[in-house]
Amino acid sequence: MKNILVTGGAGFIGSNFVHLMLERGGFETLINLDALTYAGNLDNLADIENDPRYIFVKGDIRDAGLIGSLFDKYDIDTVVNFAAESHVDRSITDPLSFVSTNVVGTQTLLDAAKNHWKVDPKDKYSNEYKPGVKYLQVSTDEVYGALGKEGMFRETTPLSPNSPYSASKASADLMVRAYHNTFGLPCNITRCSNNYGPYQFPEKLIPLMINNAKADKPLPVYGDGMQIRDWLHVKDHCAAIATVLEKGVDGEVYNIGGNNEKANIYIVGLILQTLGKGEDLITHVKDRPGHDRRYAIDNTKITTQLGWAPAYTFEEGIAETIQWYLDHQTWMEKILSGDYQNYYERMYQNA
């Protein structure tokens, strides 16, 4: 690994990954390509922006000309694709932008990787690539659909996405699979469960509930709040991705999760308790259409084959995370003072 192209590195998980990689080292240059949509925030990277190994490029993963020029200019040998429209609720009101970024954007990156890394890109029968190249697609457990009370998602579980978001991520995964099987592109797909931790955009459950509780505003719990997510600290997710980059077998999918299933209502209660607020703030609102009831990841493959394991317990991770949001009031206020207010009003006014 010499020159890494990280896409979506100004978002929640991408910015945590950039931090982790700069801490770990072992490469020459890290190029962060991000379109800076509503979810991209350079404040997440303010502390490392002058690191000589780091280059930020504002641009879109669907821009084939730009991507090609980055491969040429920086001799990219590794791609980690975080860039995506990532919020399920937004995918319900605007599915097209999810197809465009998540599917077309992924295919654009795959094409650039194939064309720059294949020893003879004109020979469609050749699967010979430059040594040491790797394309890693950051995917999600949501591609597997929803579970009942029992069972866990394995890498072999059939894809059965239920939201426009998860359908677009599953489509992107299938495109990665096709580039591996048809063109021999060295690649991996990682499918992680719900992340929590610093720099998460406040449209997502945990930062949204912390914000509302702090301000004594109602906490909008969808339906009965008994939906289950399998929570993992974002730094553990990033460490798992670094592990797959280092040791992942080409063409393999790796599930990432920390065996930490919690009902939404439990998380909301914990936030209220930590902040010393009463449960009367909990407001049950109309459920999300097509809401997946339960996710759970079987992480046997990555733990046994690649030796990754989560470092955080949920108890320490969530306490640290709540404190992080309390300590980063200015970071949050900048987001809340922008277009986010309009989104919040549109999203929750009729719920």
Would you please indicate which residues are annotated as catalytic (active-site) residues?
141-142, 165
Select the binding partner of residue 105 from ligand DAU, ligand NAD, none (C-beta < 5 to 8 A, by kind).
ligand NAD
**Residue with nearest beta carbon to ligand NAD:** 11
**DSSP letters for 5-50:** EEESTTSHHHHHHHHHHHHH--SSEEEEEE---TT--GGGGGGGTT
List C-alpha distances in Å: 121 to 135, 250, 257. 16, 19, 37
**DSSP letters for 107-173:** HHHHHHHHHHHBSSTT-TT---B-TT-EEEEEEEGGGG----SS--B-TTSPP---SHHHHHHHHHH
- Site mask for ligand NAD (CB under 6 A), range 211-230, x = bound: --------------------
Q: Is residue 82 involved in binding ligand NAD (CB under 6 A)?
A: yes
> Residue from 5, 11, 272, 312 that binds ligand NAD (CB under 6 A)?
11
How many Cβ atoms from other residues are within 10 Å of residue 22's Cβ?
A: 16
Select the binding partner of residue 221 from ligand NAD, ligand DAU, none (C-beta < 5 to 8 A, by kind).
ligand DAU
CA distance linking residue 197 with residue 47, whole number of Å: 17
Which amino acid is located at 322 in the chain?
A: I
Select the binding partner of residue 62 from ligand NAD, ligand DAU, none (C-beta < 5 to 8 A, by kind).
ligand NAD
Select the binding partner of residue 220 from ligand NAD, ligand DAU, none (C-beta < 5 to 8 A, by kind).
ligand DAU
Which residues, 6+ apart, have CB-to-CB distance to 13 below 8 Å? 82, 138, 195, 234, 237, 238
List residues near ligand DAU by CB under 6 A: 86-88, 140-142, 193-194, 204-205, 208, 220-222, 227, 229, 264, 288, 295
Name which of residues 123 to 162 contact ligand NAD (CB under 6 A).
138, 140
For residue 277, which phi and psi values (nearest 5 degrees)? -110, 160
Residue placing its CB nearer to ligand DAU in the complex, 86 or 106: 86
Name which of residues 180 to 199 contact ligand NAD (CB under 6 A).
192, 194-195
Q: Is residue 13 involved in binding ligand NAD (CB under 6 A)?
A: yes
Select the binding partner of residue 264 from ligand DAU, ligand NAD, none (C-beta < 5 to 8 A, by kind).
ligand DAU
Residue placing its CB nearer to ligand DAU in the complex, 77 or 230: 230
Structure token pair of residue 38: 């509503």
The CB-of-204 to ligand DAU minimum distance in angstroms stands at: 4
Which residues, 6+ apart, have CB-to-CB distance to 207 below 8 Å? 200, 201, 325, 332
The CB-of-162 to ligand DAU minimum distance in angstroms stands at: 11
The CB-of-111 to ligand DAU minimum distance in angstroms stands at: 24
The vertex-203 CA angle with 198 and 209, nearest 5°, equals 75
Q: Is residue 76 involved in binding ligand NAD (CB under 6 A)?
A: no
What is the radius of gyration, based on Cα positions, of the chain? 20
Q: Which residues bind ligand NAD (CB under 6 A)?
A: 7-8, 10-14, 34-37, 39-40, 60-62, 82-84, 86, 101, 105, 138, 140, 169, 192, 194-195, 201
